[in-house]
Structure 1
Amino acid sequence: MRLSASVATSGANASVVAIASLVALVSLVPLGFILWVTIQTGWDQVVALVVRPRVGELLINTVFLEVFTIPICIVLSVTMAWLTERSDIPGAQLWSWLAVAPLAVPAFVHSYAWISLVPGMRGLWSGVFVSVLAYYPFLYLPVAAALRRLDPAIEDAAASLGLGPWRVFFRAVLPQLRLAICGGSLLIALHLLAEYGLFVMIRFDTFATAIVDQFQSAYNSPAANMLGGVLVICCLFLMGFEALIRGNERYARVGAGAARPVDRRRLGRKTLPAIALPLVVALMTLGVPFVTLVRWLWLGGMDIWRMDTVGWALIQTLVLAVIGGVLAAFAAAPMAWLSVRAPGRLQRLLEACHYYVGSLPGVVVALALVSITVRLVLPLYQTFATLILAYVLLFLPRAMVGLRASIAQAPVELERAAMALGRTSGQAVRQVTMRLAAPGAAAAVALSALGITNELTATLMLSPNGTETLATKFWSLTSEIDYVSAAPYAFMMVVLSLPLTLLLYVQSKRTAGQ
């Protein structure tokens, strides 16, 4: 009986590896396309298109944007995390939730809100300001979770050696946050490379805005493809740099650590200034968008809530989000199962192929699919099939994360017992493991679907004529400076994003063991 179960498991592994390999091969299409176009264009023309003043200007803008935004996000996030997790600030749970809530507001809606309040906002510093407000929660979440997991005995030992509070923090606490800071910083850096709507609204040129502009003027131009290649190189450089900074230090501990909660530091006279920071941040990240939306909705009245426009955009958004989210979860399931049940070198290679595509900007994935469909399969150009494929590729890593964690919690012995009772390997996985992993699968679908809800660039470039999602309809109206009519679409995107934000917050608490 054990032998037959083992043979069945080997057969299951082979079939799952084949499916995962196919998904990995498809995920490599954007990178393969960039390399193919580079070869087809010819070295001389590639040099002419890349080594020119316009590319240099975009590169300088990108470097400045990253160099100024990320350090500010680090300082703000670490400070906020310390206040909410390590101090006796009143209402710590409320401030913690408000620090994560800005993720419910899409970045281009942040920009829309601030442009409505300060019409003259434009350029680098405006881009840095809005980017910090929109993206700092990506750093706050891992840093706050890391602070909750730290062993308080380490800080006690540092204090017993005569170190003051500040030196304890910088010498004992901050080094242990490096992994969380590096991971969150990389996520923000990749978002800055991919962001389009935010920077267009404040008239700050980046590679993403230049690629879309080039695409709109000539949809299959070598210039747009080469800009996409430079953007991919920037992504790979950022990932390599983050790995170098992160290093190979060990951050795990042996044993459970100190069996007591961390002593929260008393703020005393600094309580009011400490409350002022999260309060001001909440007002800027949530108050301004809320007031702006309420203002435009009030000015527009009930006339702007038309079912033939707002309702239709909502329906199309939900349909695309559900289909894309479900297919992303299905595509990620074989790799998620392999990563838990059959780890090894091949598994790590295939898993890397699944994850890398999530680091690519949507504009690069869309550009690759546009060019491939135009050159090779023209009937698929600007079809729902191509748009859904782009969504699956972009949000494949999100689906992987939720599925892998849930499958890991399903005991492999139950699969083997099912096979011993006469089930085939496929039946055992479907009827036992995937049922146990259903909550994680649902979370994976929700994460992917809500990401699709706010996706802009790929939808603009790939959607069929007549398709209007909440994001694209919002974008077309703001491009016409019709902020009143755009408000309902922004409001609906925020409403649909709130469950994702709550899910991330709750998951962060669970990961930290709370």
Structure 2
Amino acid sequence: MPRPALAVAATLGVGVSLIPLAYLGVRVTDAGWARIAEELFTARTRALASRSVALAVLVTGACTVLGVGSALLVTRTDLPARRLFGVLAALPLAVPSYVAGFAWVSTFTGVASFEGFWAAALVLTLVSYPYVYLPVAAALRGVDPAQEEVARSLGRGPWRTFLGVTLRQVRPAVAAGALLVALYVLSDFGAVSILRVDVFTRAVFTSINLGFDRTGALVLATVLVALTALILLAEQLTRRRGARYARLGGGAGRPPVQLRLGGARWPAALVLTGVAAPALGVPAASLVRWFGEGVSRPGSVAQIAAAAGNSLWVSLTGATLTMLLALPLGLLAARVPGPVAVALDRLAYVSHALPGLVIGLSLVFFGINVAYPLYQTVWLLALAYAALFLPLAVAAVSSAAVQAPPELEEVARSLGRRRTYVLRTVTLPLAAPGVGAGAALVFLTCMKELPATLLLRPTGMDTLATELWTQTSVSAYAAAAPYAALLVLLAAVPTWWLSARTGVLARGGG
């Protein structure tokens, strides 16, 4: 595809994701400066900002440590049962934050009070660290082995080579994963609501749902946009210009050097077990506890099956639309670096930090006033998913394209092939695994999304997520358990595929 056409297509994709931001700007501007100042410059807003930032910083730091450490142990060491731990480290991604919150609260009901800031930090860390683990594990399997071999030939040991050479090569994956975690925490609604933590997303929901103060809620949402812009700026400033991450050659048949843990092998396995046990064990135990009673209700099996079918359909539609919009932007960021690509890439992340409730409200307004044929259809919900999850797809596409050698495309161009032909026969096949991983991740995240789904689903269409929320909102844990269990099981399929994409399930993995 010619570069101007690629830039136009990327701009179109970003424009779709910015529809909620445009709505937010119009409504907040209409409120007037006096109303904005009345809402912003208060002790409550300062408290919400400090608590939201503190939660994002704490969870992002913890997820970075757990994600990088797990990826290192699983892909580059002689850890016992590496393939098993590779799957266990990815599976928490299949557990929605509100399911995890529901599981922890229902487990401790009558025993202790499990709520507040630290409870939310624990739950969000346990469900979010795969956002760092998966890209880092994939990057560790795909880095150029030649650079490590050069370092070893110069007398560096395996650990010095890893710290000085390998980690630098996977730095984009670490940064991308940490960025996704930070934005996920800022936009999370389910866990913080169940665990009663006053952050911006909960305040926005309360203002709209209980206080009927839509303008005040949207003014608070603008603070989330500002925080997102600061995070994106900080991440951009840490990027190294001119760095190269693609292999110089095919790299066939040269597995990376395995680091020996020695006496730390079993302690390391014990640490990973200590992470997987609460991340997976508590939700599993809670769901098993309530599951039997829930499916015994008259008519419940048919209701669960209908909700599951609806979840699969809307998630597939949303993932397809998101990947179509993300493909040109990801290729532009990887192949045509520059101010335009950077600006579009950063703009794609802005809506990702908005609460799904704000996304839903904006698209209700958009559907009624601009695109009425889409109102009350699955396609408007798919548009919301695209606005929310475009960065996940873009990151997957651009990461795959960055690690694909551009020299192959240059050779094809030197033979007289057109850019469109090169894109179709060289670039896309090389990036296909990354594109597939991005599609699986977006599909998984669409299945778990709650607030926008509550607002935008067509009348009479219930998904597993909305049914789960309906039941847990009235503490009907037994009725909620079957929906939660099936949601986790369905989400585990793309999660398993994503873990397979990291290479940890290959032969010799433990």
Q: What TM-score comes out, normalization by structure 1 length?
A: 0.80
Deviation at 1:321, TM superposition (A): 1.9
Aligned to 2:277: 283
Distance 2:46 2:431 in 1: 48
Residues 447-504 of structure 1 show CA distances to partners (whole Å, capped at 9, x for unaligned) of 4333221111111233344331110110110111111111111111112212221232
CA-CA distance at 1:117 after TM superposition: 1.5
| 8 Å Cα contact 2:183/2:228 also seen in 1 | yes
Does structure 1 conserve the Cα–Cα contact (< 8 Å) formed by 2:409 and 2:422?
A: no
For 1:149-164, what aligned pairs fall within 5 Å after superposition?
149=143, 151=148, 154=151, 159=156
TM-superposed CA distance for 1:386, in Å, is 3.1
Cα distance change, pair 58–291 in 1 and its aligned pair in 2 (3 A):
same
Aligned-residue offset at 1:280: 1.8
Residues 334 and 401 in structure 2, CA contact (< 8 A), matched pair in contact too: no
Q: Deviations over 1:266-296 (max 9, x none)?
A: 322x333222111121211112222221221
CA-to-aligned-CA distance 1:287-335 (integer Å, 9 cap, x gap):
2222221221134353377244212212222222233233334444555
Asked whether the 8 Å contact 2:176–2:395 carries over to 1, the reply is no
Unaligned runs of at least 5 residues, structure 1: 1-8
Give the Cα–Cα distance (whole angstroms) in 1 for the partners of residues 286 and 87 of structure 2. 21
> Which piece of structure 1 moves more, 122-131 or 310-319?
310-319
TM-score of the two chains, using structure 2 as the length reference? 0.81
Residue number among 491, 496, 506 corresponding to 1:502 in the alignment: 496
Contact 2:169 2:245 in 1 (8 A): no
Q: 1:141 is matched with which residue?
A: 134
Partners of 2:471 and 2:479 within 8 A in 1: yes
Alignment equivalent of 1:466, drawn from 460, 463, 466: 460
Q: 1:361–1:158: structure 2 CA closer, same or farther, 3 Å change rule?
A: farther
1:486 aligns with 2:476: no
**How far is the alpha carbon of 1:87 from its aligned partner?**
3.1
1:22-421 pair list within 5 angstroms = 22-119=12-109, 120-148=113-141, 149=143, 151=148, 154=151, 159=156, 178-217=171-210, 221-248=214-241, 250=243, 252=245, 261-268=256-263, 270-303=264-297, 306-332=300-326, 335=329, 350=344, 353-354=347-348, 356-373=350-367, 384-400=378-394
Q: Greater RCO between the two (CA within 8 Å, min separation 6)?
A: 2
Range with greater deviation from structure 2 (408-417 or 473-482)? 408-417
Matched-pair identity in % = 34
Q: In structure 1, what is the Cα distance between the partners aligned to 2:449 and 2:441?
A: 12
SS of structure 2 residue aligned to 1:481 = coil
Structure 1 contact 406–439 (Cα < 8 Å) conserved: no
Partner Cα separation in structure 1 for residue 28 and residue 41 of structure 2 = 14
In structure 2, what is the Cα distance between the partners aligned to 1:275 and 1:435?
37
**In 2, Cα distance between equivalents of 1:133 and 1:114:** 12
Shift of 1:365: 2.2
Unaligned runs of 5+ in 2: none
1:381 and 1:61, CA in 2 relative to 1: closer, same or farther beyond 3 A? farther
Letter in 1 for 2:261: R
Cα distance per residue 1:151-197 (max 9 Å; x no partner): 2653675756xxx96x8776666666544333222111111011111
Instruction: For 1:288 and 1:277, locate their aligned partners in 2 and report how far apart those are by CA, in whole Å.
Output: 17
Larger radius of gyration: 1
Q: Give the direction of change, closer, same or farther, for the CA distance of 1:219–1:431 in structure 2 (3 Å limit).
A: farther
Change (3 A) 1:262 1:334: closer
- Distance in 1 between the 2:240 and 2:333 partners? 24
Which whole-Å CA distance do the structure 1 matches of 2:414 and 2:140 have between them? 39
- Tell me the distance in 1 between the aligned counterparts of 2:5 and 2:269: 56
Deviates more, 1:438-447 or 1:76-85: 438-447
Return the alpha-carbon distance in structure 2 between the equivalents of residues 16 and 81 of structure 1: 34
Q: Is the 8 A contact 2:135 2:177 kept in 1?
A: yes
* Cα pair distance change 1:247/1:38, threshold 3 Å: farther
Supply the RMSD in Å over aligned alpha carbons: 4.2
Distance 1:346 1:289 in 2: 44
SS at match of 1:509: coil
- Distance between the aligned counterparts of 1:168 and 1:79, measured in 2? 16
Give the letter for the 1:43 counterpart. Answer: W
In 1, Cα distance between equivalents of 2:422 and 2:242: 40
Contact 2:318–2:443 under 8 Å retained in 1: yes
Cα pair 2:103 2:287 within 8 Å, conserved:
yes
